Amino acid sequence: MSAPSSARRVVYVVGSGRSGTSTMAGTLRTLGLHVPQPEVAADSTNPKGFGEPQWLVDLHDELLKRSGVQVSDARPRAWLEAGKVSADHALRERVTDWLASQLEQSDELVLKDPRAAWFLGLWRAAAERSGAATSYVTMLRPVTEVVGSKQKYYDARQGGVTRTAAWVNMMLGTERATRGEQRAFVRYADLLDDWTVPVFALGEQFDLHAVKTAMATDIAAVHSFIDPSLRRVTLTWDDVQVPAPLRELADQTWAVLDAMAQPGGDTAAAHETCDQLRVAYGEMYDEAEAFAASSVLAARREGLREGVRQAREEGGQQLAARAADHVPHAVRALVPPAARSRIRKVIGRER
């Protein structure tokens, strides 16, 4: 897709967390694109920094809670739930106002947050209303490395099966959400091996002034910023145990996305393959849900009993009204927002 003529541009770095999105955002920032301030502070999981505006992260956390969607959500219908929130007029005004204020500081922005993929329609509309063109960089990293990295640095309560399924859902959903837009797919390994090749290609493809006019000092700064040793997790399927059908579907998803990173690889045939894989994943997930229906129902009942018990033990109207929040985290993850609302109503009758 040819580059829009607008001098204002917003580059969204998308893809699954732990796929090199922070490295890409940090590289573009170092070359001169603006990351809205303040940024999320670096920590041991990302010592070079996240490249994430704090305002963006806070907003997406709020929207995920409102929609009942997790950052790494394996449910195909999570895209619909997130989309419902994005349709809110007041929210669109709020996002547009913030984005417009950032574009007053710089004509070229880079926005990165793994949560953003759920709300790309919201951000695309905000950019259009702010007179800015949009581009998308989808970072690619083998699923086993993503899963291994998340299990090393994130909440260990999610297992390899859930993380693999969430990766498939996120990557196929992101591909569909950015299709028809100006976009590029970049392998994390290529970024670490020689960042100049994919990044300067992005500069030309997206017509990024900051990248195209980068000075020698900027280039040297990026060489210092990118550390190949950051690829600290290199697992294979021997290290990540998942059912064979899910493994095969994840491999097929990786294969088509990996091919799309090749010059001329973003083709109609690749899009059709992604559509077929997305349908296959939806059918697989529906089947898994059907098998697990009894477990989900049991978890909901246990959550209800626990909430009522704690409310009765601690007493007080306010505590009883909050009883649903006492449900253990592992159980609450299985309880949709509507079910939590019903729990609160039942608890109210029990008082």
Alpha helices in the chain (DSSP H): 21-30, 54-67, 78-86, 89-103, 120-129, 143-153, 160-178, 188-193, 196-206, 209-212, 216-225, 244-260, 268-314, 317-321, 329-332, 337-350
Q: Which 8-state DSSP code applies to residue 116?
A: G
Rounded Cα gap, residues 219 and 190, in angstroms: 17
- CA 200 to the chain's CA centroid: 24
Rounded Cα gap, residues 280 and 70, in angstroms: 22
Rounded Cα gap, residues 126 and 56, in angstroms: 13
Q: What is the pLDDT along the chain (351 residues), one digit of tens a residue?
A: 434 446 899 999 999 988 999 999 999 999 999 999 999 888 777 777 788 999 999 999 999 999 999 999 999 999 999 999 999 999 999 999 999 999 999 999 999 999 999 999 999 999 999 999 999 999 999 999 998 877 776 666 678 899 999 999 999 999 999 999 999 999 999 999 999 999 999 999 999 999 999 999 999 999 999 987 766 667 889 888 899 999 999 999 999 999 999 999 999 999 999 999 999 999 999 999 888 878 878 877 887 777 667 766 665 555 445 544 444 444 444 444 544 444 444 434 433
Rounded Cα gap, residues 117 and 16, in angstroms: 9
Tokens representing 23 are 């490295």
Q: Which whole-number Å values give the CA distances from 1 to 4, 136, 163, 201, 290, in the listed order?
A: 9, 12, 32, 14, 41
Query: Look-up: residue for tokens 């880079």?
Result: 110
Indicate yes or no: pTM above 0.85.
Answer: no
